[in-house]
C-alpha cells in the first residue's frame, strides 16, 4: 500500500453524491502517530507531511454501468505505465490510490486524491476561460503524444481499429440512425436527415485507411465535454481530466472536436478554434510527435467533427436523453457548414 508503516486511524465521510453511473463520497482520513507515507519506491514521509493524503475521493460505479472496467483498467494499468516512463511529469489526472473491478459481479471502485481544495469543476453550459482552454489543449496533447503510435496499442492496450470493425460501426450506425430518425420525426427535415445519414455511414476514406493501418493513432479520452475537466484555482497548477471509462484507440482530434465543435457556437469557434489547435500541435511536437503537420491536424479535426455524428446519433438509443445529443448535434452541423467538412467525404 501507500503507507510504509503505521495505519489509517479514522475515516470520516464528509459529502456524498450520486450520478447516473456512480456513487461518490469525499473522505477525511487521520493516521496513527507512527504512520509514514510512501512517496515513491525509495522515499517516505511522516503522515503529518503534506504528501500524506487526508482528503480522498471514492467513486463506486453502479454494477449496470458497462464501461466501469475500463476506468479501473486505466488507473491500474495505463497510469502506472505513463508514470514509470515519465516520472517527473505532472499528468492530467488525479492520483489514484486504488482501482479495482470484479468481473463476476461487475463491482468496481476508484480511490483518488480529492482535488476539491485545488481545483474547481466547470459550470456548463458556460465554456471554460481562454486560459483554461489553453491548459486543456496542452493536457490532451501530452496524453496523446505519449500513446501516439505506441507499440502496445492493439497489443495489450485497447482493441485495434480494423476495416471490419469500422464497417461494423457504420452498419450499426445506420441502424441506430433509422431508429433516431423515427424518434425525432418532423423535428428534423428530410434534407438534414439525409446529410446526417451520409456522414454516419460514409467515413472519409483517408481517415478510414489510417485507422486500419494504425497510422497516426493514439489513445483518446472520447468524452471530453467540459464537465469532465477540473480546472486549477492557481495558474501554476494543471488541469485534471476525469471519467476515464471511454478511452480507446482513435484519432487524437476526436477529443478536440468534442471539446470545441460539439460544445461551442460559431462565434466562439471562430475566435478560439485555430489558436487552440496551433497550441495543441506545438505541444504535440514538443512531446516528440514527428511527421504530423498543420495540414494533417486540420484534416483530422474536420474528419473528427464528422465522426461525432456516429457517437451522438450513430450510437443513439431510446434511453439516451435528448440533452446529451440534440444541442451538440446542432452545433456540429454548424461546424460542418463553417469548415467545409462534407468535402472530406468526396475526396
pTM: 0.93
8 A C-beta contact, residue 295 and residue 250: no
Q: Give residue-wise pLDDT tens across range 177-191.
A: 999 999 999 999 999
Report residues of the chain scoring pLDDT below 50: 39-50
| Third-level CATH fold of 3-113 | Phosphorylase Kinase; domain 1 (3.30.200)
- With CA atoms as reference, report the closest residue to 326 among 305, 312, 336, 339: 312
| Third-level CATH fold of 119-346 | Aminoglycoside 3'-phosphotransferase; Chain: A, domain 2 (3.90.1200)
8 A C-beta contact, residue 91 and residue 79: yes
Q: Give residue-wise pLDDT tens across range 66-122.
A: 888 999 999 999 999 999 999 999 999 999 999 999 999 999 999 999 999 999 998
CA distances to 25, 60, 140, 275, 278 from 292, in Å: 43, 40, 16, 17, 12
Domain chopping of the chain, boundaries: 3-113, 119-346
Amino acid at each position: 500500500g501507500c503507507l510504509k508503516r503505521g495505519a489509517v486511524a479514522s475515516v470520516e465521510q464528509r459529502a456524498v453524491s450520486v450520478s447516473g453511473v456512480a456513487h461518490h463520497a469525499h473522505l477525511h482520513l487521520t493516521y496513527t502517530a507512527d504512520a509514514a507515507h510512501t512517496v515513491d519506491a525509495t522515499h517516505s514521509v511522516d503522515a503529518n507531511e503534506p504528501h500524506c493524503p487526508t482528503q480522498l475521493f471514492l467513486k463506486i460505479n453502479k454494477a449496470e454501468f458497462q464501461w466501469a472496467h475500463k476506468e479501473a483498467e486505466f488507473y491500474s494499468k495505463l497510469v502506472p505505465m505513463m508514470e514509470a516512463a515519465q516520472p517527473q511529469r505532472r499528468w492530467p489526472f488525479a492520483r489514484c490510490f486504488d482501482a479495482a473491478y470484479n468481473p463476476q459481479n461487475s463491482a468496481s471502485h476508484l480511490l483518488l486524491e480529492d482535488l476539491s481544495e485545488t481545483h474547481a469543476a466547470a459550470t456548463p453550459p458556460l465554456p471554460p476561460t481562454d486560459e483554461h482552454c489553453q491548459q486543456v489543449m496542452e493536457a490532451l496533447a501530452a496524453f496523446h503524444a505519449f500513446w501516439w503510435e505506441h507499440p502496445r496499442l492493439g497489443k495489450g492496450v485497447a482493441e485495434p481499429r480494423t476495416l471490419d470493425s469500422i464497417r461494423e460501426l457504420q452498419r450499426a450506425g445506420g441502424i441506430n440512425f433509422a431508429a433516431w430518425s423515427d424518434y425525432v420525426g418532423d423535428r428534423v427535415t428530410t434534407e438534414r436527415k439525409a446529410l446526417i445519414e451520409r456522414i454516419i455511414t460514409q467515413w472519409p476514406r483517408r481517415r478510414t485507411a489510417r485507422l486500419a493501418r494504425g497510422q497516426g493513432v493514439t489513445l483518446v479520452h472520447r468524452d471530453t465535454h467540459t464537465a469532465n475537466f477540473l480546472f486549477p484555482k492557481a495558474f501554476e497548477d494543471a488541469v485534471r481530466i476525469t471519467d476515464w471509462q471511454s478511452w480507446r484507440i482513435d484519432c487524437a482530434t476526436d477529443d478536440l472536436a468534442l471539446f470545441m465543435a460539439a460544445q461551442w457556437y460559431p462565434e466562439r469557434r471562430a475566435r478560439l478554434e485555430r489558436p487552440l489547435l496551433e497550441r495543441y500541435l506545438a505541444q504535440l511536437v514538443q512531446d516528440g510527435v514527428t511527421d504530423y503537420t498543420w495540414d494533417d491536424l486540420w484534416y483530422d479535426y474536420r474528419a473528427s467533427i464528422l465522426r461525432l455524428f456516429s457517437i451522438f446519433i450513430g450510437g443513439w438509443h431510446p434511453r439516451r436523453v435528448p440533452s446529451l445529443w440534440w444541442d451538440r448535434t446542432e452545433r456540429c452541423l454548424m461546424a460542418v457548414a463553417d469548415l467545409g467538412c462534407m468535402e472530406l467525404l468526396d475526396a
